[in-house]
Chain A
Amino acid sequence: MSSATLTASAVNNAARRGSALGRRLLVISAWLVFLLFLVLPLFVVLTEALKQGVGVFFTSIFEPDAISALKLTLLAVGIAVPLNLLFGVAAAWCVSKYEFRGKSILVTLIDLPFSVSPVIAGLIYVLLFGAQGFFGPWLREHDIQIIFALPGIVLATLFVTVPFVARELIPLMQEQGTQEEEAARLLGANGWQMFWHVTLPNIKWGLIYGVVLCTARAMGEFGAVSVVSGHIRGYTNTLPLHVEILYNEYNHVAAFSVASLLLLLALLILLLKQWSESRINHLKARAGEE
């Protein structure tokens, strides 16, 4: 504690006591908001899922359609996240290491998919690749199926998750500047060596953080995927779509069981995120000490 704070607290004892009360009130209300707003929905998902016992819960999760939905979701995530990771690194690189005209426009464009409704994200691919769309006749002639199949689902997922890795990396890389890289170059490293040995270690945790966010969003995307999925049971249903379908089949318990599977995945992602974040803070703190 600095000396200024010490004096302040000494002088203002009365105010302190008042603020201790205020502080307690604030903490309690934060807890209330947290419990009512964030925890209660989780509680509902889990209780609804376990309403008819653990047996029904596991049957719903291991049912073939649920498994194939899980596979499809992981497959879409497995394709979309690496692609957006590559994009995020490239975009962050050119935005943070160089100055050029139109940079702020580029940054806005990278952020754009965030504020586009997922439904629109689905719609635009239908307009492009649907049978009535721009490329529809050509695709049909060549027997290529994009929407209502895996490519469409991946495209929709890619669209909604474009910004996340780049958004995490840009501020981080801007903060780090270019000195270390320049030094590496002067010492004779080539471009790739510089990237692997200097840049990557510096941005590693930010990268992981971005990937975690990207994965979360990709896994849970509903609106965009719903437009391009075709809802073929066991084939083009992702997990979130499968939840909707079960919900619409009077299969309340199964819907909430699969939902709680997604919830568990979400909690796992939060853990990963927390971990990478603490690594970032740790590194920052160390950099501060040096």
Chain B
Amino acid sequence: MSRRTSPVIPGFGLTLGYTLVYLSLLVLIPLGAMFVHAAQLTWEQFWTIISSPRVLAALKLSFGTAFLAAVINGVIGTLLAWVLVRYTFPGRKIIEAMIDLPFALPTAVAGIALTALYAPNGLIGQFATSLGFKIAYTPLGITLALTFVTLPFVVRTIQPVLADIPREVEEAAACLGAKPLQVARHVLLPALLPAWLTGFALAFARGVGEYGSVIFIAGNMPMKTEILPLLIMVQLDQYNYAGATAIGVLMLVVSFILLLLINLLQRRISHS
């Protein structure tokens, strides 16, 4: 830890020290404790736990629905960001302010509200039932809940980048005879992609771990609609601390690798 650029400004030691101590006490040591706990398992035991069909099913479900939700948000989030940045229209300010609602709303409230909405006797659920499909208590319901919860992250990362792309570039391209799709493909996409990926990564990471909004709507069926965080809870409630920590470690490692990959991808894109 050296190479301070600005020797005039005081407080490097103090602030860095405080930051490190605080992070260590609150985050790193407790997380480390989980790894230590999991390390009491042999590699074989660990493998048996995380490769059991129920864990694999939950893994697929959690990462699958979070991925899908992030993709959906990639589309509607971009739409919202685009409209908010580019157009003035009646009610723009309201939408702008309310985009962050899923972030500010406690997840348990979101959970019971979405369940009331999508359950077979709910406002939208009734409609779906009459069309012959179910939303609540299926992976679709989980995906919807995750989409709701993670929407602000995508919109808020795309918005500033979109605002920074000068309109003139697109219009110049249009003047030169480019069709709208070509403009989108050659002008907007490259500029937006890094932000899009960041938003995607944020939404995805949050979605994988989300608990409060999902448990109400999921139905919690082992092998079918049981998400990984719930499985950790279930293991814990069966006095299976080893199982809970093993799944916790698995979750952390997989999310970490995925985020790392997305970071690398992002770096490569912004370099080229």
Contacts and interface: CB of A to CB of B under 8 A. Distances in A.
A174 interface: no
Interface string A1-37: 0101101110110010011001100110111011001
A186 interface: yes
Nearest to A117: B209
A94 interface: yes
Contacts of B3: 99-101
Contacts of A125: 30
B113 interface: yes
Interface in A168-189: 178, 181-182, 185-186
Contacts of B180: 18-19, 22
Contacts of B95: 30-31, 34
B26 A158 contact: yes
B2 to A, nearest CB: 6
Interface stretch (B9-17, B133-141, B188-196): B9-17
A261 to B, nearest CB: 9
Given A33-B76, A117-B251, A5 B167 contact: yes
Contacts of A271: 97
A263 B174 contact: no
Most B CB contacts (10 A, CB to CB) among A4, A98, A113, A220 go to A98
A162 B19 CA distance: 11
Given A41-B113, A117-B211, A27 B27 contact: no
Nearest to B201: A115
Nearest to B113: A41
A57 to B, nearest CB: 15
Contact of A124 (B33, B84, B102): B33
Given A120-B251, A216-B103, A223-B212, A181 B113 contact: no
A50 to B, nearest CB: 13
Interface of A (DSSP majority class) = helix
Contact of B79 (A30, A120, A262): A30
B27 A41 contact: no
Contacts of B109: 45, 220, 240, 243, 259, 262-263, 266
Interface string B27-41: 111110110010000
Contacts of A255: 112
The bracket for how many chain A residues form the interface is 35 or more
B236 A263 contact: no
Contact of B233 (A30, A40, A94, A119): A119
A205 interface: no
Contacts of B89: 27
A112 B232 CA distance: 19
11 contacts: A2-B168, A22-B180, A41-B114, A101-B2, A118-B211, A124-B30, A127-B34, A213-B103, A220-B106, A222-B211, A263-B109
Interface of A: 2, 4-5, 7-9, 11-12, 15, 18-19, 22-23, 26-27, 29-31, 33-34, 37-42, 44-45, 48, 87, 90-91, 93-94, 97-102, 106, 109-110, 112-120, 123-128, 132-134, 155, 158-159, 162, 178, 181-182, 185-186, 191, 194-195, 213, 216-217, 219-223, 226-227, 239-241, 243-244, 247, 255-256, 259, 262-263, 266-267, 269-271, 273-274
